[in-house]
Amino acid sequence: MAAGVSMDEVQDLMEEVAEISLQGRGDRLVLGIWRDSREIGYVGTARLEGGMFFDTSDEVWELLKKSGVDPWKVNDAFVRQYVVDGGQFEYSLRDLADRETEIAALRALLAGNEEEALKLIGKDSLPYRLREAKVLLGEGYFFKVDIPAELIRLRRP
């Protein structure tokens, strides 16, 4: 991070980047697995079925990393902004190799057991999609699995 830049300035920048990274149309924000294609993963689900999605450009992502800023801060700011706006979220299960494990990991996060979620997915840290879901669960969202629609609906009570 550049010398002389305050944490408040960094947070303001993250919120601005988050705001301009909203793409698509609809009344729901689609989360899910990132694939390097606009036709599959959460981006494809949102584009094909009508929904909004968060996507910084590869250039912005790399610039953040080179600047010493964790790109997660932009994702976090984006999700939190949409929570404040009362947004509805859907977590796409499309293109996941193991949906049952993903659902079990979400249930572990709902129970406050991140360690179990990590064990289930076989990783040392949560992928961004599960981090985003963890933020929502922490904000009081609940989820309902809809296998035929290949998604999980996240709503506030």
pLDDT one-digit tens code per residue, 35-87 = 777 677 888 888 988 898 888 778 888 888 888 888 888 888 888 888 988 88
Is residue 123's pLDDT more than 90?
A: yes
Give the span between the Cα atoms of 10 and 53, in whole angstroms: 23
Amino acid 2: pLDDT: 52
Predicted TM-score of the model (pTM): 0.84
Which pair of tokens denotes residue 85? 């706006």
Q: pLDDT tens digits, residue range 130-154?
A: 999 999 999 999 999 999 999 999 9
Give the span between the Cα atoms of 144 and 113, in whole angstroms: 19
Residues with Cβ within 8 Å of residue 144, at least 6 apart in sequence: 152, 153, 155
